[in-house]
C-alpha cells in the first residue's frame, strides 16, 4: 500500500498552503485517480508522494515503512513532458536501460522499437518519448506508478494504446497506478476510485 497520511505542503512559510491534511491510499494492482482543476496542487502532491518533495506535515509510507529515495524507490513518477526527465545527451538505449535491462516483451508491449536505440531524444516524437519513459520506470523495484497528466499531450489513439498497455501490465504485475488528471472522462474510464483535490 502506498499511503499519504494527513499531508500538508506549502513552498514557504510566507506562501499559502497548496493542500492541507490530505490523505490518499493506493494498493498494488489497482488504478485510482486524482482529479482537480489546473493549479490546484495535483503535481505538487504527486511529487510529495514520489519523494521529490518533503511534506510540511504528514507522512508518505509504502507497505507501512517510510518512503525512501536513498535506494531504488518503489514509487516512480511520470511527467506530462517526458523530455524534461530524460538526459538529452544520452541515446535511447542508455535511457531505457538506466535502471534495469527491459525485456523484449516490455519493449513490445509499449511499442518501443529497437531501431530507436541509436537515436537521441530530440529525434523522437512526444508519444515515443512517453513510451520510453514508461518502460524506464517499470523496473523490478517499482510497485507504484504516478502518472501526472502523462498522456495529455498525446493524440487520442496514442493515449488509448498507452493506457491499454498499462492496464494489461497492472493485471500481470500487480502494479499500482495513480492517474493524475483534470480530465474526468479519462479518469472515469480508467479508475475504480477517485480522489479530488480542490
Residue 175 lies in a domain: yes
Asked whether the beta carbons of 69 and 49 are under 8 A apart, the reply is no
100 occurs within a structural domain: no
Residue 120 lies in a domain: no
Give residue 152's pLDDT.
79
Residue 61 lies in a domain: yes
Domain membership flag for residue 189:
yes
pLDDT tops 90 at residue 64: no
Do residues 42 and 34 lie in contact, with contact meaning Cβ atoms separated by under 8 Å?
Answer: yes
Q: Is residue 171 part of a domain?
A: yes
State what percent of residues in the chain have pLDDT above 90: 70
The CATH number of residue 73's host domain is 3.40.50.300
Average the pLDDT over 13-38 and give the result. 94
Quickly list DSSP for 21-38.
EEEEEE-TT-EEEEE--T
Structural domain harbouring 192: 2-85+133-196
Q: What is the pTM of this model?
A: 0.92
List Cβ neighbours of 157 (8 Å cut-off, separation of 6 or more): none
pLDDT for the residue numbered 40: 87
Residue 108 resides in a domain: no
Statement: residue 70 has pLDDT above 70: no
Q: How many structural domains comprise the chain? A: 1
**What confidence tier does 61 reach under pLDDT thresholds 50, 70, 90?**
very high
89: number of CA atoms within 13 Å, CB side?
0
Q: Per-residue pLDDT averaged across 57-77, rounded?
A: 87
Confidence of residue 143 (pLDDT cuts 50, 70, 90): very high
As a whole number, mean pLDDT of residues 145-161 equals 87
> Which ranges of 92-197 does DSSP label H, i.e. alpha helix?
92-96, 104-109, 126-137, 156-173, 184-190
Residue 124 lies in a domain: no
Q: Residue 159: its pLDDT value, please?
A: 85
Amino acid at each position: 500500500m502506498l499511503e499519504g497520511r494527513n499531508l500538508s505542503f506549502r513552498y514557504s512559510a510566507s506562501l499559502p498552503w497548496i493542500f492541507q491534511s490530505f490523505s490518499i491510499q493506493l494498493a498494488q494492482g489497482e488504478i485510482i485517480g486524482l482529479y482537480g482543476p489546473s493549479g490546484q496542487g495535483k503535481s505538487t502532491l504527486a511529487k510529495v508522494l514520489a519523494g521529490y518533495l518533503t511534506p510540511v506535515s504528514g507522512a508518505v509510507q509504502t507497505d507501512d515503512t517510510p518512503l525512501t529515495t536513498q535506494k531504488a524507490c518503489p514509487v516512480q513518477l511520470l511527467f506530462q513532458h517526458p523530455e524534461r526527465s530524460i538526459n538529452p545527451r544520452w541515446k535511447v538505449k542508455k535511457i531505457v536501460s538506466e535502471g534495469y535491462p527491459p525485456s523484449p516483451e516490455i519493449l513490445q508491449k509499449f511499442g518501443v522499437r529497437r531501431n530507436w536505440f541509436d537515436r537521441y531524444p530530440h529525434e523522437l516524437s512526444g508519444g515515443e518519448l512517453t513510451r520510453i519513459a514508461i518502460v524506464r520506470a517499470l523496473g523490478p523495484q517499482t510497485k507504484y506508478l504516478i502518472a501526472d497528466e502523462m498522456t495529455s499531450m498525446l493524440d487520442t489513439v496514442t493515449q488509448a494504446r498507452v493506457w491499454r498497455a498499462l492496464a494489461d501490465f497492472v493485471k500481470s504485475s500487480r502494479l499500482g497506478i495513480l492517474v493524475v488528471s483534470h480530465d474526468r472522462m479519462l479518469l472515469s474510464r480508467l479508475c475504480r476510485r477517485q480522489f479530488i483535490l480542490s
